[in-house]
Amino acid sequence: MYHKEKSIQIKNSASALYNNLCVLRIAPRRLTYFTVVHANVVNMVSASWDGLNYSHRQLQSKEPNVATSTSLIMQAAFCVLTSRDLLVVTSQKGIQMYESDGSIMVYWHALETPETPTEQAVFARGISGVWENYICVGVSSGAMLVFDIPSKGSNITLSEVLHEHSESITDMASECSGSQECIANLVTADDVGNLCVWKSGEEFQLLNKIPGFDMSCSSVKLWKGTVVAGYGTGQIRLYEAVTGILHAEVNAHARWIYSLDIAPFSGLLLSAAEDSLVRVWHLTMTPETNSVEIAHLHNECVTDTQICGAKFCDGDGYAFAVTGYDLSEIIRYVQS
Amino acid sequence: MSVRTLPLVFINLGGEMLYILDQRLRAHNTSEDNSEKGVWSENDRRIVMNDIVSTLFSKSFMDELLKPQKLYSHRTMKTVLTRIAHTSIMRLNPASMDRLYELMVMAFKYQVFLCPRPKDLLLITYNHMDTIREFVKDTPAVVNHVDETHRKIIEVYSSLPEGEFQLLRQTLLIFFQNMHVRVSTFIKNKIQNPNGRFVLTTSGPVPHGTDVPGLIRTFDNKGKEVRRSEFPTGGSYTSPVREGSFELHGQRVLRLGLNMYTVDHPEETHTSKIPSVKADDSPNLLAKEELNLLARLMGSMKVDSVPRVETRFRINLFNTDQEEEQAEASGGAVGSSFDVINIQAMQDEQAATQLAQIAGQFEEHAEKPETHSVNKGDDLLAMMDDL
């Protein structure tokens, strides 16, 4: 179904972090951006569609002062909003927002760090752009920061802080089908597997809370009102977002799941885990019976590699890219 | 990232260090040119193990490690571990210490990488502690230190949720990133590939708490299962084995963390670097935070009075003295060189107190301009080099 294509070499290897690959397709310029986190650096590659041009850029985590040692980055993700795209980088010290090509930093938000280190680590993790012009970022305390993004410029403001999760946020995702009919447009996940479903607005509204089973939910997606969640046990679960009804449960992987992605136009699902396997699935919705089904399509094994990021490169799922711990390349697969 | 890594790092790296030293100490003068001064007696070996274990597991040192703090650079870890090794009558030249450190780190990297569940990091740690207890079983006082530490670790870590352990594991993996030193015993046992990467199989038992992959279950709106189907997993997985014990004593079940070295096979500890990988280019200056930690750790190490012996026993991790010298000359040994001749206990204590005082001054004068503290940093580094 898929075959391996030429890999893209990156300047450093990928770190073992959840969802450690982000892809942004710039159709007008026939380019795709890839971001991979390595310790305190974000490696950005801009690849032309003809496969001839690659340009690299590195973004560093912002240091508050020289005396402290470097701050590790937890995640980097593109946020696609109606009026603009931004690249958000979250670290132990705070949140940085850049123009999507990484050229200019437009906003910096420092996390409150106590004077003496506490038992709980402090960091930001979990990033999502939400309709219409919000960017949400999670924090290790369980808090969610909601930023209001103007259509251009750097006048970004903190609009709200939400306190529904009591454990560290792991990932969040907005409704990716493009449909305006979905009531819920954001899902957030935490380290004990609790899922919160939201409706965005001047004041975000909590629509539902789906309890976890004491196992970290490391990656989450939201498509056509269905939450797709990946867990540390290697399981994938499909829930109806607004009601919390469990549609399906898959014993998908033998180790911790690190990344999920959905190709919104075709309903293809990508899952990747520490067991060195990437799996492609197909989701089908039957609105009449309100059922969702998942079928397995394809496996790829990245030998001896714990995978930490996997994303489709386009909305149909024609191609996908994979990163692994200690690997200095982005591996690409294309449909045969 | 995690602020609870240090106790596990030191116990596991220290454990690997002790496994290697134990193998070297038992070997009957296997150096090709008889360069090791004399054969180690049973008594000598016991003294060395007791000295190192009692320093590593001393209350003051462990208490310092248990404070929530970041994991810093390899340079700091190596400095502290070298100091621990040298609290005994044994000496290692810089080239041998470098090789020892590479072995320790690659072994621990292997264990963390293959750890089935993040929580199993504790079982790996307990495996190290169980073996260490065996090394010092004839000295009840030292066994007590190990037991006390074990109890503290159980107290601090047992209740952590799985997500926190994974964060801890991810922090460790970042620390080990890009290290692909080939270790001959790993290659021989087929757990490492010739390119330095560890082998990850898609077969065998799944971790405790995970289901064997392959099943899809579909439910209706009432929660009733309406269909089951299977998919090909591309691997051959089996049910989990029984869970190991997290108590002070017990069957750990997991084999990661047990001693991989056997007596009379010194070639097992041969290492080679991959030519293409560039050397550690961490900056010379350590950040103030890191210097503070270093000073605190060195200051907290309890140095029992070491007998004034004129000759120190040297351990060589290479085949001959010449090989060791060549390794050192070729730039293998980074950092300070140690005086092979006596370092008296008195001086150590003084040096340690002075270090702690300087560290204290850092905290008081936090407002001073950066250039000033950089100079102080240089002083502190110079002091460390003299130890």
Residue from A1, A111, A216, A285 whose CB has the most chain B CBs within 10 Å, to mutate: A216
Choose the weakest-confidence range: A60-64, B146-150, B204-208: A60-64
Supply the pLDDT for residue B275: 56
Task: Name which residue leads in pLDDT, B364 or B193.
Answer: B193
pLDDT of B378 reads 54
The Cα-based distances of B119 to A121, A214, A232, B122, B160 in angstroms read 17, 13, 11, 6, 9
Q: What is the DSSP string of B83-150?
A: HHHTTSSEEE-HHHHHHHHHHHHHHHHHHHHH-SSGGGHHHHHHHHHHHHHHHTTT-HHHHHHHHHHH
Taking all residues of chain B, what is their mean pLDDT, rounded to a whole number? 79
The CATH class that applies to domain A2-335 reads mainly beta
**Confidence at residue A227, expressed as pLDDT on a 0 to 100 scale:** 96
| B311/A220: higher pLDDT | A220
The per-residue pLDDT for range B3-39, each reduced to its tens digit, is: 999 999 999 999 999 999 888 888 755 455 555 545 6
- The string of pLDDT tens digits covering residues A89-106 is 999 989 999 999 999 999
The partner residue sitting opposite A67, judged by closest CB among B169, B220, B289, is B289
pLDDT of residue A204: 94
Check whether A131 has a pLDDT greater than 80: yes
Which pLDDT belongs to residue A68? 61
Q: What is the pLDDT of residue B122?
A: 96
CA distances (Å), origin A186, targets A56, A171, A189, A225, A301: 32, 11, 10, 10, 31
Q: Which of A134-143, A154-163, B80-89 has the lowest mean pLDDT?
A: B80-89
For range A297-323, the mean pLDDT: 96
Is the predicted pLDDT of residue A241 greater than 90, yes or no?
yes
Count of positions (residues) in chain A: 336
Task: Write out the H or E segment, with its range, that includes residue A31.
Answer: strand A31-38
pLDDT for the residue numbered B369? 38
| Contact call for B213 and A251, based on CB within 8 A | yes
Which residues of chain A neighbour B238 with C-beta distances below 8 Å? Answer: none
Contact (CB<8Å) B70/A293: no
Q: Closest partner residue to B1 among A92, A247, A296, by Cβ?
A: A92
Query: pLDDT tens for residues B267-321?
Result: 666 777 765 544 444 454 556 777 777 788 888 776 554 554 545 667 777 767 7
pLDDT digits (tens, 9 = 90+) for A49-62: 998 899 999 998 87
Selecting from B1, B116, B370 the residue whose C-beta is nearest the C-beta of A67 gives B370
Asked if pLDDT for residue A175 goes beyond 60, the answer is: yes
ipTM of the complex: 0.94
User: Hey, where are the domains in chain B?
Assistant: 6-183+254-386
- Condensed to tens digits (0 to 9), the pLDDT of residues B153-195 reads 999 999 899 999 999 999 999 999 999 999 988 999 999 999 9
pLDDT of B133 above 80: yes
Are B244 and B254 a contacting pair, CB within 8 Å?
yes
Segment B125-139 shows an average pLDDT of 94
Contact A121 B237 (CB under 8 A): no
**B185 near B261, Cβ under 8 Å?**
yes
- Record the tokens describing residue A151, joined without a space: 């259509």
CA–CA distance, A235 with A173 (Å, rounded to integer)? 18
Across the interface, whether the CB atoms of B202 and A299 are under 8 A apart is answered no
Chain B stretch 89-148, residues whose beta carbon is closer than 8 A to a beta carbon of chain A:
113, 116-118
Give Cα separations from B137 to B88, B133, B263 (angstroms).
Answer: 18, 6, 19
- Computed over every residue of chain A, the mean pLDDT equals 93
Question: Rounded mean pLDDT of B351-365?
Answer: 47
Please state the φ and ψ torsions of residue B91, each to the nearest 5 degrees: -130, 145
Task: Note the pLDDT of residue A197.
Answer: 97
Task: State residue B308's pLDDT score.
Answer: 45
**Are B271 and B181 spatial neighbours (Cβ–Cβ below 8 Å)?**
yes
Between helices B74-85 and B288-300, what is the axis angle to 10°?
10
Q: How many CB atoms lie within 10 A of CB A180?
A: 8
The answer to whether residue A177 scores a pLDDT higher than 80 is yes
The domain locations on chain A are: 2-335
The answer to whether A284 touches A295, Cβ cutoff 8 Å, is yes
Per the rule left: phi > 0, alpha: psi between -120 and 50, beta: everything else, B66 is alpha
pLDDT value of residue B385: 52
Higher pLDDT pick, B358 / B73: B73
- Among chain A residues, CA nearest to B164: A191
> Is B68 within 8 Å of chain A by CB?
yes
How many A-B residue pairs are in contact by the CB < 8 A criterion? 169
pLDDT at A230: 97
- Smallest Cα distance from A273 to chain B, Å: 12
Q: Is B155 on the interface with A (CB under 8 A)?
A: no
Of chain B, the end-to-end C-alpha distance in Å amounts to 32
Tens-place pLDDT, residues B74-120: 988 999 999 898 888 788 888 889 999 999 999 999 999 999 999 99
- As a whole-number percent, the residues of chain A with pLDDT over 70 amount to 97
**Taking the model in full, what pTM does it have?**
0.88
Instruction: Give the pLDDT of residue A42.
Output: 95
- Would you call B174 and A275 a contact, using CB atoms and an 8 Å cutoff? no
Better-scored residue on pLDDT, B75 or A312: A312
Any CB–CB contact under 8 A between B217 and chain A?
Answer: yes
